[in-house]
Structure 1
Amino acid sequence: MKKTLSVLLVAVAAPVFGQGMKAPSASGAVGMLRGSYTYVDGFITKAAEQVPEADYSFKPTPEVRSFGEIVAHVADSQYTFCSRVLGKPNPSPDVEKTRTTKAAIVEALKGSSAMCTLAYAIPDAEAHKTMKIFGKDHPKFEGLLINLTHDWEHYGNIVTYMRLKGMTPPSSQPSK
């Protein structure tokens, strides 16, 4: 009983006494987003590298984006949201309109991913500051969240396209 009480006391007291400490961790709000972003970014990048260039023009139906257009759209959006979070100009606008080869699209995706890696490293206090999204002021945290949900949405499209072409998407491949 004494041992159980001691363990319980330490478990409850540790967070109280540790409140003044500011050790970097992924437990903050931005840190939690960063963890999910790291997964989806890895999946999208691996998919973009895995799909052959000949399949970059694949469209399941005529009215939707091709595989390559989806990946370019993700790069475009990442550059847009993450550059705004960082307060920097977009270094590569209009990726979807200007990049057409697999090599150029993957290069743009990796560039946008590098920018987003910096954006998802901002401290929580910075995430509460505002930025412009769609002409209105919003917290930077919201920009990170929109980017993250947008990436997951389009990774879902990518998974479907890959399955239709008989490929296994990165999230379903065995871990190495």
Structure 2
Amino acid sequence: MKNLCTLMILGLASLASAQADLAQSSIKGMFSRNADQITSLGDAFSEEQYNWRPAEGIRSVGESLIHVAKANYFFLMKMGFELPEGIDMMGMDGITGKANIMEAVSKSFDFTKEKITMVETDQLGDSVEMPFGEFNKMSTLLLVLEHSGEHKGQLIAYARSSGIAPPWSQ
């Protein structure tokens, strides 16, 4: 009986620990899917198509991808994470060429996936000050996820307009 109680307590403690990081691991999983699909879309465009834009004053394919990378860094920086060495968010607008853009996007995705799971559960309610309002860390993680999904949709529309089917739908 004593062993059974000990096992139950250990099992419940383990379950509680697993549940504690459920939000972070779920968001990371969904973000990873968006990241993989954005990457496959970025790879599907030709070098020349990176300059395509639907209209004057609207971001091009390449500019949209760089925007996603910059936003990933921005949101995490606002949550208190230091940018990786060598990352100059303001200088990222000067990145050109498909290979260079995709490298920058990939690095931002890797950084974001790493940092999502570093947010402690007891910190999810901590305040995060943004230029457009006050959030907590949980809502900021959801913003990271939503923002990547928003621009995945944008890139799907760009791809379809350019005669490219999203690679995962073929």
Give the % identical residues: 25
How far did 1:89 drift? Answer: 3.8
The equivalences for 1:78-157 within 5 A come to 78-89=72-83, 91-94=87-90, 96-122=92-118, 123-134=120-131, 137-157=134-154
Partner of 1:172: 169
* Cα deviation digits, residues 107-150 of structure 1 (max 9, x gap): 11011111101122123223333333227653222221111111
* Letter matched to residue 104 of structure 1: N
Partner of 1:45: 39
DSSP-derived class of the 2:89 partner: coil
Aligned residues: 159
- In 1, are the aligned partners of 2:73 and 2:83 still within 8 Å (CA)? no
More helix by percentage: 2
The ranges of structure 1 where at least 4 consecutive aligned residues each deviate by more than 6 angstroms after the TM superposition are none
In 2, distance between residues paired with 1:42 and 1:26? Answer: 26
Q: Give distance in 2, aligned partners of 1:118 and 1:127.
A: 16
Alpha-carbon separation, structure 1, partners of 2:49 and 2:20 = 37
Contact 1:81 1:143 in 2 (8 A): yes
Aligned-residue CA RMSD (Å): 2.6
TM-score scaled by length of structure 1: 0.77
TM-score of the two chains, using structure 2 as the length reference: 0.80
Gaps of 5+ in 2: 1-7
Report deviation, 1:84: 3.1
Work out whether residues 79 and 137 of structure 2, in 8 Å CA contact, stay in contact via their aligned partners in 1: yes
Q: Is the 8 A contact 1:82 1:115 kept in 2?
A: no
**1:133 alignment partner AA:** M
The 3 A distance-change label for structure 1 pair 129 and 19 is farther
Structure 1 gap ranges (5+): 1-14
